[in-house]
Amino acid sequence: MVQLHVKRAEDSQFLYSCTVDEQLDTVIRHITAIYNGRLKVERICSEIPELADHGVTLPPNMQGLTEEQIVELKLIDEWEEKCVPSGGPVLRRDEIGRRNGHAPNDKMKEVLMRTMEEAKALISKKQAQANVCVTMEMVKEALDQLRGAVMIVYPMGLPPHDPIRMELEEREDLSGTQASLQVITENECQLWWAAKEMQRGKKLQDYIGKNEKTKLVVKIQKKGQGAPAREPLVTEEQQKQMMMHCYRRQEELKKLEEADDDSCLDSDWSDRQALKKQFQGLTNIKWGPR
């Protein structure tokens, strides 16, 4: 199996395995799905701590308002009584005014946080360091884990406007957010290797030959952004090792220079004529008036 190390710019993403005779259309489709799926898991995981600390999201027309403004405008959160966490709520007011402040108890909070960590570990970038290939099944498993944890804590479900529910139901609206810049649709995704775009309609073997035991570093890029930057000749770790070697070499040269110091030649014990002078009575001679 060919192993592709997928990167976005200089940022490592995940490992993907396939065969050399696989169509690049299929490879790009799978890589795009895994890449966007990982982003979805990360977006949900970023909302889980807020859900655990402050409860479900308020309706859009109530977010950011103070309690006095809500009373003055006579706004009512009709989902507050429907979306009650298991074991009863714990009041933890949201200073931002984005969530209703009816948080789950500590036991339910632990369920959410533990599941979040497990889901993040499943699609983590550290999987590439461990030489583990990420598949779409792993992404779906992470999403199922998050969905199950939310259902345990909120058996009646989350409000339809809650971002976690919208993500799980594929209704998320990312327009105008930083997250929208990270998403790459299948149609606009390009795969680059060795400063060349791998064209759709071809097979992987058209670029790398028929050797299945190959590992490549490929980069995904949005259409129209041009070729991504080339990979550095040496990795960051190799550069650190080279700098350490240079430093050690400099220290060794300093010690050698100190060892070559010939000031000791002026000492009495280094004088080759010392014995002869002693016999002739020429030692300890001082010049000057008596």
State the pLDDT at residue 21.
92
State the pLDDT at residue 267.
63
Same domain, 249 and 176: no
pLDDT digits 0-9 by tens, 49-79: 999 999 999 999 988 888 888 888 888 888 8
| Position with higher pLDDT, 259 vs 179 | 179
State the pLDDT at residue 245.
87
Same domain, 160 and 214: yes
State the pLDDT at residue 289.
62
Distance (Å, whole) CA 204 – CA 129? 24
Q: What is the mean pLDDT of residues 127-137?
A: 93
Q: Is residue 271 part of a domain?
A: no
Q: What is the mean pLDDT of residues 126-150?
A: 95
Q: Is residue 117 part of a domain?
A: yes
Structure tokens given for 48: 């889980």
Q: Is residue 17 part of a domain?
A: yes
Q: Which of 196, 222, 248 is the last residue of a domain?
A: 222
* DSSP H or E run through 6: strand 2-8
State the pLDDT at residue 266.
61
The separation between the first and the last C-alpha atoms of the chain, rounded to the nearest angstrom, is: 99
Distance (Å, whole) CA 195 – CA 43? 31
Same domain, 191 and 61: yes
Q: Is residue 235 part of a domain?
A: yes
Same domain, 89 and 210: yes
Distance (Å, whole) CA 34 – CA 40? 10
State the pLDDT at residue 230.
73
Which residue range(s) make up the domain with 71? 2-222
The number of beta carbons lying within 10 Å of the beta carbon of residue 128 is: 19
Which pTM value belongs to this model? 0.78
Tell me how many degrees the CA angle 129-164-157 measures, rounded to the nearest 5.
130
Same domain, 133 and 237: no
Structure tokens given for 195: 């400063």
Same domain, 182 and 235: no
pLDDT digits 0-9 by tens, 214-267: 999 999 999 888 778 776 666 778 888 889 988 888 888 888 777 665 555 566
